[in-house]
Amino acid sequence: MTVRHIVFAVAPDLVLLDACGPLEAFWRAELTMAAAAGKSGNAAEPVAYRTTVASIDGGVLQTFPGLPVVTERLDSLDDQPIDTLIVPGVPIDEHCTLQPELVSWIRRRAPEARRVCSVCTGAFYLAAAGLLDGRRATTHWREAPHLAQRFPNVQVDADPIFIRDVGHGEGKRVVWTSAGVTAGIDLALALIEEDVGHAVAMQAARRLVVFMKRPGGQSQFSAALAAQASAGGPFEALHSWMAGHLRDDLSVERLAERAQMSPRTFARRYVDEVGRTPAKTVSALRLEAAARALAESRRPLKRIALDCGFGSEQNLRRAFVRRFGVLPLEYRERFESAVVPQRAAVSALVAAS
């Protein structure tokens, strides 16, 4: 087993969870691999991963929201190979100045790494180092417009939880970028799966009590969250009712009746309050519920289609291909979560650990 050196290159005012979330995931994977190898999880000799948190000056680094961390000096790694370089985020605003020494270090060392990654606004550092030029990348949804404006050569997509861009041409490195904060855990689990397989990544997810892969097409935005954006408004109760009655008639006329308005008034006020049509909210809620059912259960497609209001398997398939580009069963294979019974190999590994 190759021990991979994972280096977290951090800047002052590091967003702590951007680093400690992935660190925890790699540590959980290390425990799983150690148990499978019959070694103590506290053994000094690493099995799968060795992690280093380093900054330009080293020493104690202040973080956001305030817990200090001890870091090594980045130049102390000059003679050490780096398998994976991860740049966590920092608070970003329009006046934010990136640390130039860190940008230079990333630009110099990134070509030597097998893969380069960012968590949240760490994408700004990768972009400043020129590593995202011509690439598709993501960051925290709130900072995506800022990233696109500041670095116009980057193809910013605010929707995904993470993006793996393989680049083009000889010598191109794989570059991963992820959304905000907890998305760093999703990213780390994907890296673990790529390195040591699905079983270890699944066990790490189970220990962290998180999804191996989030349902909902790996989107930063859920339909329920979007609906809650109008919490306290006139449609808060209606959204809760809709989520519990997805298989019912959710036409504008029926929703207007529920809201005690005329259909025309309801449709107009709904768009004003929520920012999209009632039909789009219904479609998003049904699709998200179906995605969650596929990820968390082995219910047959026919039952899921009926329970989520699609009416037929054919309608469900069309909706998935249109939104996610895959059929429902393909989606289940990609995004099944830790609550789904795993294959015998996974069960054996879990039992061993």
| Residue among 20, 117, 120, 308 flagged as catalytic | 120
Helices marked H in 42-182? 100-109, 122-128, 144-150
Domains of the chain and any CATH numbers: 4-208 (3.40.50.880), 223-335 (1.10.10.60)
Burial of 152 from C-beta contacts in 10 A (0-12 / 13-18 / 19+): exposed
Q: Report CA-CA distances (Å) from 32 to 2, 119, 126, 188.
A: 15, 24, 31, 15
Encode pLDDT of 212-244 as tens digits: 766 544 566 666 656 655 545 678 889 889 988
What local confidence, expressed as pLDDT, does residue 243 receive? 87
Q: Provide φ and ψ at 160, rounded to 5°.
A: -70, 155
Helix (H) / strand (E) containing 115: strand 115-118
* 344 pLDDT above the threshold of 80: no
**CA gap 165, 173 in Å, rounded:** 9
What one-letter code names the amino acid at 269? R
What local confidence, expressed as pLDDT, does residue 223 receive? 62
Which of 3, 4, 7 has its CA nearest to residue 116? Answer: 7
Q: Does this model's pTM top 0.75?
A: no
Which of 312, 311, 160, 325 has its CA nearest to residue 248? Answer: 311
Encode pLDDT of 121-150 as tens digits: 999 999 999 999 999 999 998 899 999 999
Structure tokens at 241: 């009712």
What local confidence, expressed as pLDDT, does residue 342 receive? 37
117 a catalytic residue:
no
